[in-house]
């Protein structure tokens, strides 16, 4: 703004200013105007500012003229002047400076009008850019979150693929010598039984034969354990690929529960909340193994008395949701991110191979679905499976 003291002076030289400048009486009528004001608005002597400058019968909206007269303080405001022909409005910065006498009474008002259309256009453009930047930032954050999610899924897939290759090699290398070991154990047991019949009654022989039988039982348990692990690895590596069939998922869940009857006994209550779901096309053996793994984990998470809740439902978007929830000991938050990693287990040493949930994850995602876990230590764990109604061949 120009020098306010100069503008407020009674004898202000109006031609000193580089913007249209008019002196108004306290009734808004123009007393004097500089050359730029005359060139811009014409000779406006005796007319009100709103008539001469903006062709209006009434004071402009938002006008602060009366505030200046009453308060004796300078004011600045912006006016959008719209033409009737529908063109974009012109914007003006209007500065009003009081002219006071020796007693401090406002006797006139100096009005400086500056064309601010370009400035406002730049400001509006900056505002639009800021809004666009905000939208783009939000979109980028959303895309980044999706990228992190996809990256995590890719890492999981890579882990599973790597373990699948490892499993294929391990099962091939171990299966043949294990078969030989199992066959030799059968032969050895046959020979020991024959020796037992021939040597019965001789001093010390019975005790040694009994010891050998106990060792054979330990070998049986060990080889059985190895065979179980190999079956898990073969399933994980898709060495025993099963065909797609249309099955009732409820039947698969019940089959798994039947196999766990001994472990459940009377200590765990099974709550069934089965919804009306249609048969699903899947690999039944693999899907049943998922149910077995989840239910066995739930059973092992309950040390004493407890409850397992199983719920199924059909969502409106054509997806089947299955929930397996227990009220066991729960899983610490820092372990949830690893829960589907191959080899990870929260069970005691020697209990579980650490492949159960990894296989479950691979099976469900391989069927085009998702598996999610929510857990709180001391309250329990819930696994949520979502499967599409229409399956692609796995």
19-28, 188-197, 233-242, 318-327: least confidently modelled range? 233-242
Among candidate residues 376, 381, 244, 224, the one with its CA nearest the CA of residue 309: 381
Judged by average pLDDT, the poorest of 134-138, 185-189, 307-311 is: 185-189
For residue 351, name the pLDDT band (cuts at 50, 70, 90). Answer: very low
How far, in Å, CA of 12 to CA of 237, rounded?
Answer: 94
Half-sphere exposure of 199 (CA within 13 A, CB side): 15
Q: Where are the alpha helices (DSSP H) in the chain?
A: 4-8, 35-41, 49-54, 65-71, 117-199, 205-236, 249-259, 261-264, 284-301, 333-336, 356-366
Residues ≥6 apart with Cβ < 8 Å to 286 = 235, 242, 363, 366, 394
Plot region of 319 (φ>0 → left; ψ -120 to 50 → alpha; else → beta):
beta
What pLDDT score was predicted for residue 4? 44
Name the band, by pLDDT with cuts 50, 70 and 90, for residue 7.
very low
Domain spanning 4-115: which superfamily?
PAS domain (3.30.450.20)
CA-CA distance, 49 to 54, in Å (whole number)? 8
What is the structure's pLDDT at 181?
A: 72
Count Cα neighbours of 140 within 13 Å in the Cβ-side half-sphere: 6
Beta carbons of 368 and 391 less than 8 angstroms apart? yes
**pLDDT at residue 284 tops 90:** no
The structure tokens listed for 170 are 């391990």
Q: pLDDT higher for 51 or 214? A: 51
Give the mean pLDDT of the chain. Answer: 79
Cα(130)–Cα(124) distance, integer angstroms: 10
pLDDT tens digit sequence for 216-230: 777 777 777 677 666
Name the token pair of 150.
Answer: 């996809």
Reported as a pLDDT band with limits 50, 70 and 90, residue 233 is: low
Q: Give the model confidence (pLDDT) of 14-36 as tens digits.
A: 556 667 888 989 899 988 888 88
pLDDT, mean of residues 292-301: 91
Angle at 235 between CA 232 and CA 239, to 5 degrees: 130
**Who has greater pLDDT, 128 or 382?**
382
For residue 284 the two structure tokens come to: 């039944």
Cβ–Cβ under 8 Å, residues 185 and 216:
yes
**For residue 278, what are the CA distances in angstroms to 73, 157, 311, 321, 387?**
79, 29, 14, 12, 12
Pairwise pLDDT comparison (391 vs 335), residue with the higher score: 335
Cβ count near 65 (within 10 Å): 22
Interval 294-307 mean pLDDT: 92
Predicted confidence (pLDDT) per residue in 43-100, tens digit? 878 888 888 888 888 888 888 899 888 888 899 888 887 766 667 788 888 899 999 8
How far is the C-alpha of 34 from the C-alpha of 23, rounded, in Å?
Answer: 9
- Give the model confidence (pLDDT) of 305-340 as tens digits: 999 999 999 998 889 999 999 999 998 888 888 888
pLDDT given at position 38: 84
Q: Per-residue pLDDT tens for 201-211?
A: 565 566 766 77
- Whole-number percent of the chain with pLDDT over 70: 75
Rounded average pLDDT over 99-125: 86
Read off the pTM.
0.44
The number of residues in the chain equals 394
CATH architecture of 245-388: 2-Layer Sandwich (3.30)
Number of H helices, E strands in the chain: 11, 12
Are 112 and 2 a contacting pair, CB within 8 Å?
Answer: yes
Residues ≥6 apart with Cβ < 8 Å to 368: 387, 388, 391, 392
Q: What's the per-residue H, E or C state across 249-269?
A: HHHHHHHHHHHCHHHHCCCEE
């Amino acid at each position: 703004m120009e020098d306010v003291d100069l503008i407020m002076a009674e004898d202000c030289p109006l031609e000193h200013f580089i913007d249209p400048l008019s002196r108004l009486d306290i009734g808004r009528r123009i007393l004097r105007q500089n050359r730029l004001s005359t060139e811009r608005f014409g000779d406006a002597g005796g007319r009100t500012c709103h008539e001469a400058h903006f062709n209006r019968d009434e004071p402009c909206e938002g006008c602060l003229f009366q505030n200046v007269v009453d308060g004796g303080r300078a004011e600045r405001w912006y006016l959008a002047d719209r033409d009737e022909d529908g063109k974009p409005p012109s914007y003006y910065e209007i500065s009003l400076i009081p002219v006071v006498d020796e007693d401090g009474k406002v006797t006139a008002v100096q009005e400086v009008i500056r064309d601010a259309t370009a400035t406002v256009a730049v400001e509006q453009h900056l505002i639009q850019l800021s809004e666009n930047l905000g939208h783009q930032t939000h979109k980028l954050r959303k895309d980044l979150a999706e990228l992190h999610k996809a990256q995590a899924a890719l890492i999981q897939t890579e882990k599973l693929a790597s373990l699948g290759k490892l499993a294929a090699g391990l099962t091939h290398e171990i299966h043949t010598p294990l078969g030989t070991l199992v066959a030799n154990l059968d032969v050895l047991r046959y020979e020991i039984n024959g020796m037992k019949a021939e040597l019965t009654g001789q001093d010390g022989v019975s005790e040694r034969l009994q010891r050998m039988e106990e060792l054979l039982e330990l070998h049986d348990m060990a080889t059985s354990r190895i065979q179980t692990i190999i079956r898990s690895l073969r399933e994980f590596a898709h060495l025993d690929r099963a065909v797609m069939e249309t099955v009732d998922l409820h039947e698969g869940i019940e089959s798994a529960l039947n196999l766990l009857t001994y472990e459940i006994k009377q200590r765990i209550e099974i709550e069934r909340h089965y919804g009306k779901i249609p048969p699903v096309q899947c690999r039944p053996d693999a899907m049943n193994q998922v149910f077995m793994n989840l239910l066995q984990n739930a059973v092992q998470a309950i040390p004493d008395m407890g409850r397992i809740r199983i719920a199924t439902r059909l969502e409106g978007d054509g997806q089947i949701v299955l929930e397996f929830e227990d009220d066991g000991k729960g899983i610490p938050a820092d372990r949830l991110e690893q829960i589907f990693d191959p080899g990870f287990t929260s069970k005691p040493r020697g209990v579980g191979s650490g492949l159960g949930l990894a296989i479950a994850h691979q099976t469900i995602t391989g069927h085009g679905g998702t598996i999610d876990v929510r857990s709180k230590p001391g309250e329990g764990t819930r696994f949520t499976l979502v499967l599409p109604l229409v399956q692609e061949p796995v």
